[in-house]
Amino acid sequence: MTQRAGSTRPVVPLSRRKLMVGGAAAVGFKALGPGSVTAGGLWDSAVQRAGALEQLRALVIAKDGEIVFAEAFRGPALTRAVNVKSVSKTIVAAVTGAAIDRGTVPGITATLGEVAPDLIPTSADPRVAGLTLEHLVTMQAGLERTSGANYGPWVASRNWVTDALSRPFVAEPGRGMLYSTGSFHILGAALSRATGESLLSLTRTWLGQPLGMDVPAWTRDPQGFFLGGNEMAFAPLDLIRFAEMTRLGGTWQDRRVLSKDWLRAAAEPRTRSNFSGLAYGYGWFLGQADRTDYLMARGFGGQVVVVAPERGLSLVITSDPTRPARSDGHFGDLRRLIEHDLLPAARAV
């Protein structure tokens, strides 16, 4: 047995493990029986590397519909909802897809002026009305960012939507990614206006209920809009269902949750992150490693969801949400874990 760095518990090889997951949490996954894991040493190596990352808290691996590994190395239990930070953006993007699937909004090219004109402040640049849902969900609105150094002043403002939409254009809409939680907050507020339902209600009805995921209430702005793009909380064993639904092309337990058309469009590169270099679709970062493509949701601190359909692989990783995870730090370690260990292990099974 191998000792984890920073842990008093030894790592037991997967071949000698008995995976214990609560019946409710495991619904929709095949039972893990003796001999199910055939990649042995490769999975073991990946698990040991994960456990040695002291900022990482939990890892859930699903392969071809089986949960082959699930453990909270440190921190909250796998069944407890934890803050997934900007993984919330991927969830809001999925809610957008569900709204389009239902015809609640006309389509991804619908403008803010068409969907929610009352959200546009009178002092806003006239171009704001022409911003599309696609501009928002790809963070290519062109407005000055509300993330990074601007995040604190933005959430301290009296009206988050007005503040975000009143910012100057620093780029032409659609001409490049400006990572900004404000874009997703505007998107969530627009969906709420278009449906007459809160973002919380939409997420629970369109994603939570069909997937059997608990969706706790989270932060709201001064006008009562739930924060789009940050601060949602999910249990890792719930979030893996969202990943699996995505891997399966939008279905879960023979129920259609999102259309194939939406997921196909969401996985097409639309822009690129200036920080990680990864391409970006509709709420998903898009990467390629070990001769396969993968989708990634990423949140501050090292909250990660990965889907690699060609490998039959879904992953959920949670980390300490109070500490940064930069490309040259913890996120870089996670990306190496995913690309150099987990994807190759999935290929070997």
Q: What is the pLDDT of residue 149?
A: 96
Per-chain mean pLDDT for the chain: 91
Answer with the residue of higher pLDDT: 4 or 155: 155
| pLDDT value at 7 more than 60 | no
Cα dist from 9 to 12, 56, 221, 228, 342, whole Å: 9, 15, 42, 38, 22
End-to-end CA distance of the chain: 22
Mean pLDDT computed over 68-74: 95
Please check whether residue 263 is in contact with residue 272, taking contact to mean a CB–CB distance below 8 angstroms.
no
Q: What is the pLDDT of residue 3?
A: 46
Mean pLDDT computed over 262-279: 96
Whether the model clears a pTM of 0.75, i.e. scores above it, the answer is yes
87-211 CATH, one of 3.40.50.1980, 2.60.40.1930, 1.10.3720.10, 3.40.710.10: 3.40.710.10
What percent of the chain stands above pLDDT 90?
87
Mean pLDDT computed over 221-232: 98
Q: What is the pLDDT of residue 87?
A: 98
Q: What is the pLDDT of residues 206-216, one digit of tens each?
A: 999 999 999 99
Q: What is the pLDDT of residue 297?
A: 98
Closest to 257 (Cα-Cα) out of 133, 126, 102, 116: 102
Confidence of residue 348 (pLDDT cuts 50, 70, 90): confident
In the chain, the amino acid numbered 79 is: T
Q: What is the pLDDT of residues 126-163, one digit of tens each?
A: 999 999 999 999 999 999 999 999 999 999 999 999 99
Q: What is the pLDDT of residue 267?
A: 98
Q: What is the pLDDT of residue 27?
A: 59
Q: What is the pLDDT of residue 277?
A: 93
Mean pLDDT computed over 321-325: 96
Q: Report the distance separating Cα 53 and Cα 275, nearest Å.
A: 22
Q: Using the Cα atoms of residue 22, residue 29, residue 54 and residue 43 in order, give the sign of their dihedral.
A: positive
**For the chain, where are the alpha helices, taking DSSP H only?**
41-51, 87-101, 112-115, 133-137, 151-155, 160-165, 181-195, 199-203, 209-211, 236-247, 260-266, 330-336, 343-348
Q: Report the distance separating Cα 39 and Cα 60, nearest Å.
A: 16
Q: What is the pLDDT of residue 40?
A: 55
| pLDDT value at 271 more than 50 | yes
Confidence of residue 226 (pLDDT cuts 50, 70, 90): very high
Q: What is the pLDDT of residue 198?
A: 98
Q: What is the pLDDT of residue 12?
A: 47
Q: What is the pLDDT of residue 26?
A: 55
Q: In the chain, where are the structural domains located? A: 2-82+234-254+267-348, 87-211
| pLDDT value at 293 more than 60 | yes
Please check whether residue 66 is in contact with residue 343, taking contact to mean a CB–CB distance below 8 angstroms.
no
Q: What is the pLDDT of residue 228?
A: 97
Q: What is the pLDDT of residues 11-67, one digit of tens each?
A: 444 443 434 444 444 557 765 443 344 445 678 999 999 999 999 999 999 999 999
| pLDDT value at 244 more than 50 | yes
Question: Reduced to 3 states, what is the DSSP secondary structure of residue 195?
Answer: helix
